[in-house]
Amino acid sequence: MHNNNKCERAPIFLTLLLFLAPWSGYAAAASEWFWAADGEAMAADYQGAERLHNQFGVGAQLAGEYLERGGFELGYHYQRRNLIAIADGDAESVDEHLLHLGGHGNFFPHHLHGRLTPRFDAYVGRDRTHYLQIAPGAVTSTDHILVLNPVVSFLDLSKTVYIDLGYAYSRYRADLGAIENLYVHQWAPTLGFGRAQDWVQLRAFYIRTSDSNRAAESDSTLALEIKWSRRLAPGAPLGASDITLTLLGGERRFTVDSDARAVNTLPDLQKGGVSLAALWKRDDRSELRVQGGIERYEDTAIDDVYHRVGGSVTLSQRW
């Protein structure tokens, strides 16, 4: 057990060495660093689900950027899923704690006429499942989560074309011998392009899960996510400055979202979704983002199709 904990901490220390060390020589030049802090709260309701009831969570993130050379991010996320427990031994809730550490560097090769950015994000945490027990005493099980997510991206100098290729390796290891480990491999190529006030982004997801009794079956899934964003003119309805519409088609599970810096640990199969987000800017330093949407899921173990309806609020401050 002690050696396993060392292995789980290794990606965090490796990320620190790779991305924080190059900027240590500039720490004294505080005015050349740009900082951002985000706070988020979310809530969701599972409608029509036989096993799931609702979900809520909070998160915080601190990011530092040194000019255009690169930077780092440190974040913490907590979420709780409440389940429908009826009989003795049924799972009734899951508490999840996830620590995120990421870093990136920016390069400007002359022959590419744009910015090349390698990035690496690591997520380490655990979720604890609480089971209904009629007799006195708490019964729990713990899942240890490790996610490694390298991404290489390119943005041209005019900021009208964006390309990236992301890979994510996820491992879920339980402390109960009856629950098998799960390994997930995700490939996610992205193409984005903009014109005037509009930006369109296409991202494909190919995800393969290992054979484990914690998921219904070992399989490969394909999904396509389409985002359309528009910068609104002053005086737009409700005073919003930007809106983003997101559509998802296909199937995916255990998804790692490299844009939102989020990991979906729900084992059920996502089979589509739509969301709408609006952004308000008080000035160049303060932002408020509100998002709501609906997603369709299937618990393939019991052939249960349901919908997740939820939203989130994010407040950002830069200095």
Calpha distance 306→264 (Å, rounded): 17
Across 2-16, 132-146, 281-295, which has the greatest mean pLDDT?
Answer: 281-295
Exposure on the CB side of residue 196, measured as CA atoms within 13 A: 3
Nearest alpha carbon to residue 97 among 119, 81, 120, 117:
81
pLDDT at 174: 83
What is the average pLDDT across 195-209? 96
Give how far Cα 254 sits from Cα of 78, 147, 251, Å.
17, 10, 11
Q: Output the six-digit token pair for 67.
A: 């000019």
**pTM of the model as a whole:** 0.88
Mean pLDDT of the chain: 89
Exposure on the CB side of residue 62, measured as CA atoms within 13 A: 2
Res. 14 pLDDT band, cuts 50 70 90: low
Q: Is the pLDDT of residue 7 over 90?
A: no
Q: Which residue has the tokens 């996820």?
A: 170
- Which conformational region is residue 261 in: left (phi greater than 0), alpha (psi within -120 to 50 degrees), or beta? left
Assign 21 to helix, strand or coil.
Answer: helix
Q: Is the pLDDT of residue 264 over 50?
A: yes
Calpha distance 223→248 (Å, rounded): 7
pLDDT at 2: 46
* Domain range 2-318, CATH architecture: Beta Barrel (2.40)
Q: Output the six-digit token pair for 215.
A: 């998921």
pLDDT at 28: 45
pLDDT at 1: 43
Higher pLDDT, 88 or 125: 125
Percent of the chain with pLDDT over 70: 87
Percent of the chain with pLDDT over 90: 71
Q: Output the six-digit token pair for 265.
A: 């640990």
Q: Output the six-digit token pair for 9.
A: 């901490």
Nearest alpha carbon to residue 315 among 283, 292, 291, 286:
286
CB 230 within 8 A of CB 243: yes
Higher pLDDT, 16 or 200: 200
Give the CA angle between residues 142, 147, 151 to the nearest 5°. 165
Give how far Cα 183 sits from Cα of 63, 100, 210, Å.
29, 19, 5
What is the average pLDDT across 104-132? 94
Q: Is the pLDDT of residue 65 over 60?
A: yes
What is the average pLDDT across 157-182? 91
Q: What are the extents of the domains in the chain?
A: 2-318
What is the average pLDDT across 221-244? 93
What is the average pLDDT across 88-103? 92
For residue 150, how many other CB atoms are within 10 A of its CB? 15
CB 142 within 8 A of CB 172: no
